[in-house]
Amino acid sequence: MPESHRLPLPLASLSGGTYHGVRLRVVTGRERVLRWAPVVLWAGVIFAFSSIPSLTTGLGTWDLILRKCAHAAEYAVLGALLLRATRDELSALGLGVAYAVSDELHQHFVEGRVGAPLDVLIDSVGVAIGVFLWRRVTR
């Protein structure tokens, strides 16, 4: 016998109905803002740093290592915030990697900066670390 009382997932989430026996609740606009505002703010911080023409410290090899670690760390924070907002690992990873690509594209147009595929990889690893850590901490 078909279970006609169950609504398809998109409709159930709008109505606060059930989906395969799980009661879904409607997410309010305030909740969306509280989940997404930190993501937008942090993405703005990353964008601002990417707009600075030169971030070298003159420390030679250490400068390169520290900047790449900073890349990974700032994207780990973004990955954690994206997972907090989306509540889905694949979505958080996809959005984080897409932002990393757009950030490198942005840097391509900033005088004194270079958009580098290696940085996309480093940023993506950072996103994955942030997603992993956020999931681990919140379980």
- Domain positions in the chain are 28-138
In this structure, what token pair is assigned to residue 110? 């900033």
Strand partners, 18: 23
Higher pLDDT: 16 or 65? It is 65
Give CA 60 to chain center in angstroms.
30
At residue 86, the pLDDT reads 96
Phi first, then psi: give them for residue 52, nearest 5 degrees. Answer: -80, 125
- Per-residue pLDDT tens digits for 4-13: 555 444 444 4
Q: What average pLDDT does this structure show over 101-109?
A: 94
Q: What average pLDDT does this structure show over 102-129?
A: 94
For residue 80, give the nearest of 32, 137, 139 by alpha carbon.
Answer: 137
Phi first, then psi: give them for residue 21, nearest 5 degrees. Answer: 80, 0
DSSP strand pairing (22-23 vs 18-19):
antiparallel
List own/partner pairs for 92-96 with CB under 8 A and 24 or more apart.
Answer: 92/127, 92/131, 93/124, 93/127, 93/128, 93/131, 96/123, 96/124, 96/127, 96/130, 96/131
Q: In degrees, to the nearest 5, what angle opens at C-alpha 87 toward C-alphas 83 and 91?
A: 65
